[in-house]
Amino acid sequence: MTITTVRHTVYVVHYMTPGTDNHELFENLRLELRRGSLVLAVLAALRKEHYGYTLRKTLADRGMAIDEGTLYPLLRRLESHGLLVSEWREEEKRNKRFYRLSADGKEIFKQLMTEWQSISTSLNGML
């Protein structure tokens, strides 16, 4: 075992374990990174019509789990900006609110996707 290995182990145990400042910092940065991409994920999923619960399931199945306390306010915000349209409909004897992209939403989604791809290409070149 070299001195570098020991130092690395000490660093990982003391500085990167849950509850430490570094872990908290990482968690905050990770959430920030995810938050930025959530809008794109939601817009992408709503190219097909969904109601809240199935949308949440779809996102979770694709690895973009999002809690309802974040998703529903986000849907409201996107709708108020005119990017989504929604309607209440009865399905399986229950009233559900279905969402899909509006015409403006489709346009913005296209632009955001282009931007995302550009960022992704740039980052891939750097990483």
Q: Where on the chain is the footprint of other proteins (CB under 8 A)?
A: 51-53, 56, 67-70, 72-73, 76, 88, 94-97
User: 81 φ, ψ to 5°?
Assistant: -85, 0
Q: Which is nearer to other proteins, 15 or 53 (CB)?
A: 53
How many C-beta neighbours within 10 Å does residue 54 have? 14
Q: Which is nearer to other proteins, 2 or 88 (CB)?
A: 88
Minimum separation from the CB atom of position 52 to other proteins (A): 5
Q: Which is nearer to other proteins, 100 or 106 (CB)?
A: 100
Strand partners, 51: 98
Angle, alpha carbons 73-33-121 (nearest 5°): 125
Minimum separation from the CB atom of position 16 to other proteins (A): 26
d(CA 67, CA 45): 15
Minimum separation from the CB atom of position 89 to other proteins (A): 11
